[in-house]
Amino acid sequence: EAQVTQNPRYLITVTGKKLTVTCSQNMNHEYMSWYRQDPGLGLRQIYYSMNVEVTDKGDVPEGYKVSRKEKRNFPLILESPSPNQTSLYFCASSLSGALVPEAFFGQGTRLTVV
Amino acid sequence: AQSVAQPEDQVNVAEGNPLTVKCTYSVSGNPYLFWYVQYPNRGLQFLLKYITGDNLVKGSYGFEAEFNKSQTSFHLKKPSALVSDSALYFCAVRDFNYGQNFVFGPGTRLSVLP
């Protein structure tokens, strides 16, 4: 089944403790992206990647890191999480071409930083 | 720069009545437009897309959307609303002349009242 898989689905952590949220897709998509969703603010892009080893900042990159060493994986790293990073996070992937341009989303990771 | 506006935070409609969720966009090139739906505790699900051709596009669950180039709008519609349509709806644009990135609107919460 074609899908985007995020792990974990739920995470409670303490301020300053490094964490990684994994994202994997099995559709051979070039484009991958991370978003955070907060009440009243909609979806805000954190980082995106057009292909392996090609990443770029989105609208709210501060406090986050990403890597794209393999096509299928795009982990989101919080080196020193803070309470303002408490949010619902989504990973998405898409083909780069215009033939099938829509994005496919993971189920989300609800992160709480205390 | 690309942008998407959804002028209504909330839309209420009675079951069986037609519904419209509004979206306007701004892009530098030809727009690729999308609607996504988010149910509670779920990721975003793709509903429909406009690439080119017929201005009225049909999608999942009986939804359709009308592309209007002169008004730069892409309103989501359904002839007869169901209570199960109650969810958060996002409009998005992808401009292949501007880095292929997605830009999402802030979302509109649809409540269908029995």
At B41, the pLDDT band (50, 70, 90 cuts) reads: confident
- pLDDT single digits (tens) A6-59: 999 999 999 999 999 999 999 999 999 999 999 888 899 999 999 999 999 999
Phi, then psi, of B57 in degrees rounded to 5: -115, 145
| The pLDDT of residue B98 is above 70 | no
Range of the domain at B106: 3-113
Contact A101 B96 (CB under 8 A): yes
Give the closest of B32, B43, B96 to A106, CB-based: B43
Tell me: pLDDT of B54 over 80.
yes
For A42, which of B49, B94, B104 is closest by C-beta distance?
Answer: B104
The answer to whether residue A23 neighbours chain B at the CB level (below 8 Å) is: no
What CA–CA distance (Å, rounded) separates B35 from B4? 12
**Cis previous bond, A8, omega within 30:** yes
Query: Which tokens is A10 given?
Result: 């739920």
Residue A75: C-alpha distances to residues A25, A64, B10 (Å): 11, 10, 34
**CATH number assigned to the domain comprising residue B78:** 2.60.40.10
Query: B89 to chain A, minimum CA–CA distance in Å?
Result: 10
Distance CA B70, CA B66 (A): 12
Q: Which of A48, A102, A106 sits opposite B46 (nearest CB)?
A: A102
- How many structural domains comprise chain B? 1
* Secondary structure letter of residue B70 according to DSSP: T
Beta-carbon separation of B101 and A45 below 8 A:
yes
